[in-house]
Amino acid sequence: MQKFKGRDKMKLLLLSNEQLIFSIIWKGISTFYLQVV
């Protein structure tokens, strides 16, 4: 049970991390696009 709880926590952390990375990448792409255009 404890293991599952830990894994759930990791999953949640990974999900929020994924969203953070995605927003950073999206910001970078939009900034790059604006500079090119």
Q: How many structural domains is the chain composed of?
A: 1
> Domain residues for 29?
1-37
Cβ contacts of 22-30, under 8 Å, gap ≥ 24: none
Q: Is the pLDDT of residue 26 over 60?
A: yes
Which pLDDT belongs to residue 6? 75
Please tell me the pTM assigned to this model: 0.51
Per-residue confidence band for 25, with pLDDT thresholds at 50, 70 and 90: very high
Per-residue confidence band for 16, with pLDDT thresholds at 50, 70 and 90: confident
